[in-house]
Amino acid sequence: MPLLVAMIASLAATGPAAAEDGYQLWMRYPASASQPAIEVARDTPMTRAAAAEVRRGLPTGAGPVLLALARDPRLQGLRLATAKLGDEGYSVQRITIDGRTVTLITGNSDRGLLYGAFALLRHLDTGGAIDTVALTAAPAVTLRVLNHWDNLDGVVERGYAGRSLWDWWSLPDVKDPRYTDYARANASLGINGTVLNNVNAKAVSLTAPYIAKAAALADVFRPYGIRVYLSARFSAPIELGGIKTADPRDPAVAAWWKAKADEIYRAIPDFGGFLVKANSEGQPGPRDYGASHADGANMLAAAVKPHHGIIMWRAFVYAETDPDDRAKQAYTEFKPLDGKFADNVIVQVKNGAIDFQPREPFHPLFGAMPKTPLMIEFQITKEYLGFASHLAYLGPLFEEVLDADTGVRRGETVASVVDGADDRHGISGMAGVANIGDSRDWSGSTFNQANWYAFGRLAWDPTLSSQTIAREWAAQTFGQDPAVIDAVVAIMAGSREAAVDYTGPLGLAHLMATGHHYGPGPWVSELARPEWNPVYYHRADRGGIGFDRTRTGSNAVAQYAPRVAKVYADPAKTPLEELLWFHHLPWDHQLSTGRTVWGELVHRYDRGIATVVDMRRQWEALKPRIDAKRWEKAASQLAVQEREARWWRDASLAYWMSINGLALPGGSAPPA
């Protein structure tokens, strides 16, 4: 990294304003009184970035530190177990070398040193001691990627933290120091790729001026191990190439993409590849020509193959022609294509079958396509969870999906499908739709930063618990006072469930106001397409509520492995959390809790509010222990959240009551 950029970046991160407005994210290093002794055995842009970070973050007295590759001659006598670290893993430990005790950061590549540097700082910032440090880790997933839904005009689709970070106007000449801080934050988590533009892509992003702009960003990100990818519009050969078709089987189309890939790789030699949304929500794709998703993906894969690029092909196909159940589309279309994709294609599947709801059962494609690497896509930005205004820690959502048992093979979970170990796929991946914008605190609220953090940590290690991640994040973000950490973690722990409770309990989903998806709108029923209307999802009538996805309904349960399908087919076995996702039940249907469906719904709406009231109370108590600016902002947002949780409950209940004609169950007075 050019020295000047590093210096400016460091100023941006540590200037007086930074400390209090959340700019520093979880990298709020203590001010160091002395320059630690840091030795770097190899001088490359990446090792320089690693050393600069250690220099910036190492507390007084914690040196000396040595960054050296495992093959460094000086380390050969030490018999370090570094083979299993692979290309990206690290080991951090105390060693004695030439009679001197040092903290060694090592790995098999510069990337290992970079990640080791951040791991050491995390260890220290979460209360770990330097003299007992012993950290070893390697990522379980190869592609750990953010998806920016950033439009070229600066608007971020579903973005709630300001405008796009990328200033396309001033790029490639002006490299905002913030780009470096973005890269540092991602590298601190092990995120190693970023898709710069929206999946609803414009062809212009593939023209020479934009390639140059993307190349400038790639130059900034490279020392931090981050590759740049672009979303590609499938019809670009028509729009940019003047060809009459984008049919993937047409040689002229394939040749156009090959030339385009060559052009991009000339500017960005380590370009990652393309992300494609095809034949979904009006986007062009191979189906327009009667070709399959595999035909389309493989044609693009051939174009980037000579450069070692990959294609991330999305399975989120939401077509105009709606079958009986929108939730079935991806499986219906992709399952038959298993084994038909080129080896540098990875199919990117959303965590659930509909669309990033506060709770969805895991997507039935996980486990159903063993011959195809499947990349999971989570949404970090909270499109359906109250935007940036509501506090909802998504760690438990990510964890719940990753831990889900697919029922296909013994012990197989969504995480084990995603990491690809069982099937020995060459690539594996996790994508997160970014919640990052140009607001000073990056994500629109301090607690939203935790969702970016949790995504990155889980992409590195999908077995981490959301609770562990929350503790780590809280210590780095608010300091090591255990009382603060405990309270912050407690607030976070129940927050996603609270959002589920006050927006869509018992497996209800997609009841948000249409279009923007903020606030309640379960009554909407007049939009042109049936699945645009929330009534499509809840199917409430006088007799009952819920979407019958069993044999008597859409039979979406049959898309799961028999062992899982058996559970979901039976209302008595289906977890309450997913009940009305799979079943249409009478309002007075008796549940294991002792309440009826109606009584349980009311109970859970109330519970959601009670949790938010409690979150506020706990935050109030932290006032003396947290800097004013960050405290005030979160306090105001929590007040909004409480007000809107009540709005959600009251509007939802009034609507349900207009349908079922029932009174509120006795005794369930709403909390004050």
Contacts with ligand GCU by CB under 6 A lie at 157-158, 199-200, 277, 281, 316, 355, 383
Look at residues 447, 438, 483 and name the one whose alpha carbon lies nearest to residue 625. Answer: 483
β pairing state of 193-195 and 227-231 = parallel
Show the tokens assigned to 332. Answer: 């219906």
What SS3 class is residue 572?
coil
Q: Between 466-478 and 482-493, two packed helices, what is the crossing angle to 10 degrees?
A: 130
HSE-CB at 475 with a 13 A cutoff on CA atoms is 15
Q: Between 3-14 and 177-189, two packed helices, what is the crossing angle to 10 degrees?
A: 80
Look at residues 163, 155, 153, 190 and name the one whose alpha carbon lies nearest to residue 444. Answer: 163
Amino acid at 585: L
219, 383, 399, 405: the catalytic one is 383
335: left (phi over 0), alpha (psi -120 to 50) or beta: alpha
Task: State the nearest-atom distance from the C-beta of 318 to ligand GCU, in Å.
Answer: 7
What SS3 class is residue 526?
coil
153, 281, 570, 588: the catalytic one is 281
- Cα torsion through 495, 496, 498, 502, rounded to 10: 140
Task: State the nearest-atom distance from the C-beta of 147 to ligand GCU, in Å.
Answer: 9
Residue listed under structure tokens 């760690």: 395
Distances (CA, A) of 297 to 345, 555, 605: 7, 29, 44
Show the tokens assigned to 670. Answer: 């709403």
Active-site annotation holds for 333: no
Active-site annotation holds for 263: no
Give the helix/strand (H/E) hosting 214: helix 208-221
Asked if 26 contacts 453 with a C-beta cutoff of 8 angstroms, the reply is: yes
What SS3 class is residue 47?
helix
Burial state string for 235-272 with b = 16 or more CB within 10 A and e = fewer than 16: bbbbbebebeebbbebeebbebbbebbeebbebbeebb
Show the tokens assigned to 80. Answer: 């370090």
Q: Collect all residues with Cβ–Cβ distance below 8 Å to 442 and sequence separation of at least 6.
A: 22, 23, 25, 161, 185, 436, 449, 452
Show the tokens assigned to 241. Answer: 């190439």
Instruction: Give the Cα separation of 116 and 54 in Å (integer).
Output: 10
Strand partners, 493: none
Burial state string for 466-502 with b = 16 or more CB within 10 A and e = fewer than 16: beebbbbbbbbbbeeeeebbebbbebbbbbbbbbbbb
Instruction: Give the Cα separation of 31 and 24 in Å (integer).
Output: 13
Asked if 240 contacts 246 with a C-beta cutoff of 8 angstroms, the reply is: no
Task: State the nearest-atom distance from the C-beta of 157 to ligand GCU, in Å.
Answer: 5
- The DSSP letter of residue 478 is H
Please say which residue, 308 or 516, places its beta carbon nearer to ligand GCU: 516
Residue listed under structure tokens 């400390």: 19
R_g (Cα) of the chain, nearest Å: 25
Between CA 476 and CA 159, with CA 479 as vertex, the angle to 5 degrees is 50
Active-site annotation holds for 360: no
Please say which residue, 143 or 187, places its beta carbon nearer to ligand GCU: 143
What SS3 class is residue 335?
helix
Show the tokens assigned to 329. Answer: 């589309």
Q: Collect all residues with Cβ–Cβ distance below 8 Å to 542 and sequence separation of at least 6.
A: 659, 660, 661
Residue listed under structure tokens 């929500």: 281
Residue listed under structure tokens 């970090």: 380
> Is cis: bond before 248, omega within 30 of 0?
no
Catalytic residues: 281, 355, 383
